[in-house]
Amino acid sequence: MPEKKIRVLIAKPGLDGHDRGAKVIARALRDAGMEVIYTGLRQTPEMIASAAVQEDVDVIGLSILSGAHNTICPQLMNLLRDKGMNDVTVLVGGIIPESDIAPLKKAGIAEIFLPGTSTQDIIDFIHKRVSMH
Amino acid sequence: MSEEFKATTQTARPTDASSAHRKPSAKEQAWEKNTLQPTLERNPERQAEFTTISGYPIRRLYTQADLANWDPDRDLGCPGEPPYTRGIHSTMHRGRLWTMRQFAGFGAAEDTNQRFRYLLAQGQTGLSTAFDLPTLMGYDSDHALSEGEVGKCGVAISSLADMEVLFDKIPLANVTTSMTINSPAAVIWAMYLAVAEKQGADWKKLAGTLQNDILKEYIAQKEYIYPPEPSMRLVIDTFEFGVKNTPKFNPISISGYHIREAGSTAIQELAFTLRDGLEYVEWGMRRGLDVDVFVPQLSFFFNAHSDFFEEIAKYRAARRIWHKAMVERYGSKNPRAWALRFHTQTAGCSLTAQQPYNNVVRTALQALSAVLGGTQSLHTNSLDEAWALPTEFAATIALRTQQIIAHETGVANTVDPLGGSYFVETLTNEVERGAWDYIERIDAMGGMVAAIERSYPQREIAEASYRYQMDLDKKEKIMVGVNDFVSEEKPLDTLQIDESVAHRQAERLSKLRAARSKEEVVRRLNALRTAAEGKDNLMPFIFDAVKSYATLGEICDAMRDVFGTYEEVAIT
């Protein structure tokens, strides 16, 4: 039987429109055999959490370059918990100051990928992480 | 992806066609046989193919044979004269150095006012304002969607009251001021003009630049509010208003910067930006504006990426294309409409979070290419911008980088020092040809608005950016400190912007709403709404609303009521 494809939601929360990273990652994960849903721009945490439930995803990838991560990430994690999505792996990519990384991980973000990360590192992380669950 | 798009994407990486027509001299042929071939047999070259950062193929050696059809009088000309290859002024940076214009903005208006005054005290020669995302999207700081974003990517400006604080003790009559704002550009410009009026400045003497380039928002940066048609109307309203009231102010900065940051090649940046420029010219002409009167007020904005010579060729080709288009397409008779003036910013996307001090070096080299390419003004990025907005320390080094280029290197002592280089002239020709191919393809689609609606430039850029990422992943392109020469570094001290800015803004807004005349605000917003439904120029109505202290969000909402909002088709 073919292995079930890993399902990933790539989301662009907040008002920022810089979508280069989100689009490159979406395509790289798709090329790596994952099922990728891209939300498009300007998604609220509520919209992202609902899409995650509806699409029954294993992974949510948030692309944030705007400095709004400390507001958006905890809100999303609370909403996911409320919706019973405790197993979903939430990743963040973008411009994140060093000092914010530990608090974000404490809030439940599985990993933070900074500029310069190779797409292969993200693919490998997802494979490893999803096989654990 | 459709077949048509697959086919066109191929030409994004032009083939090395011109070398097929090369007729090397007898001397060069002898060199190939007697000197080059034995060397290659002993020591093969480092790579099978050498390409620019955009993937454009570069040959081993450029000689006279590459410029067989090149006529220096026709193709190079003299500085300050068509086709402007060597620059738009006869003395270029000998006469006047480029404007050192550092982009700045964070927190509330008083925070950015302080940074502005600091930068001016350090010898900066013009201002450039960065607005936060709520402002860029036409929301007040206390709107629900502004949560977490207030003052983060730039300064929060929700009303004329904020703008008064932003330019407090800065004489707008004497300091040229640039504002990076697009969808709500007309509103922010009206606020700026109102502050200038209060300071007693003569509008006719005001100089500066409004970015106001909505086309590149749809293509690349994606900070749009309204659909293309009404957005273009607003842009042309500012042109028309500017021609009459602010003849020295640039109502637009047609921007390739963001197109490049989104992952385009150099040729795509050049082609899409200039085709955007032609679109604005055509819409202006359809409004009944005279090309020779309004086009001299249009300015451009390019990226300075890391591939040194490709960038220089891009700036030189840009001037040639614009001149040709103005004369041949629109019959312009005014040389001021032919000369492409541009601002440059070093490439934010080239900065690395890893080993951040290396960014000082990258930025310096990129800035040097902009200067050698004949820029009129320049922003140099700070070393810490892959982490956060710059600290004062980092911003100072960035400004000093420009001052070192200007005053120590000697590159500003002569005009177009690279003119006549076999390589630079050949690359200028090839980049120009590549850009014309794209421009003509977009013409055939019915222009840039039509091309955007079918996602053509968006797809071309996405394709190029993915290709570049794959090249990095495979180490076919190297970023020092990222995919090679990796080492551990201590974290940097970065600028932190906390939520107190949002609270300050919310308080200020509630006080403002209580203090102003509600009736007056409602009356002027209604007048704007009614005008938006018709065909009148909206600038006077926006200006009236601004002066009643209607907020940015209220004014943008009045137009949202009439114009609706735009959602793109997301492509990946």
Contact A99 B387 (CB under 8 A): no
Contact A95 B388 (CB under 8 A): yes
The residue among B225, B231, B233, B157 whose CA lies nearest residue B195 is: B157
Contact B221 A30 (CB under 8 A): no
pLDDT at B49: 95
Domains of chain B: 72-473 (3.20.20.240)
CA distance A51 to chain B (A): 15
Residues in chain B closer than 8 A to A119 (CB atoms): 469-470, 473
pLDDT per residue as tens digits for the range A33-48: 999 999 999 999 999 9
CA distance B46 to chain A (A): 24
pLDDT per residue as tens digits for the range A73-132: 999 999 999 999 999 999 999 999 989 999 999 999 999 999 999 999 999 999 999 987
pLDDT at A4: 87
Q: Token pair of B113, please?
A: 């006012």
pLDDT at B327: 98
Class of domain A7-127: alpha beta
Check: CB of residue B254 under 8 Å from CB of residue B340.
Answer: no
> Which of A38, A39, A118 is closest, CB to CB, to B473?
A118
- Complex ipTM > 0.85: yes
| Cα B359–chain centre separation | 20
Q: Which ranges of chain B have pLDDT less than 50? A: 1-17
CA distance B496 to chain A (A): 9
Rounded to two decimals, the pTM is: 0.95
pLDDT at B561: 98
The residue among B35, B26, B99 whose CA lies nearest residue B64 is: B26
Contact A98 B492 (CB under 8 A): yes
d(CA B139, CA B181): 13
> Which of A17, A30, A118 is closest, CB to CB, to B222?
A17
Name residue B27's amino acid.
K
Q: Token pair of A15, please?
A: 């008002």
How many other CB atoms are there within 10 angstroms of residue B359's CB atom? 25
Residues in chain A closer than 8 A to B386 (CB atoms): 95, 114-116
> Which of A38, A95, A120 is closest, CB to CB, to B570?
A38
How many other CB atoms are there within 10 angstroms of residue B48's CB atom? 6
Bond from prior residue into B83 cis (ω within 30 degrees of 0): yes
d(CA B373, CA B117): 30
What backbone torsions phi and psi does residue B385 show, to the nearest 5 degrees?
-80, -5
Check: CB of residue B463 under 8 Å from CB of residue B12.
Answer: yes
d(CA A123, CA B65): 48
d(CA B181, CA B175): 18
Q: Token pair of B500, please?
A: 């107190």
Contact B352 A115 (CB under 8 A): yes
Across B145-160, b (16+ Cβ under 10 Å) vs e yields ebbbbbbbbbbbbbbb
Strands B342-346 and A59-64 come out as unpaired
Domain extents in chain A: 7-127
d(CA B272, CA B254): 10
pLDDT at B309: 98
Check: CB of residue A39 under 8 Å from CB of residue A12.
Answer: yes
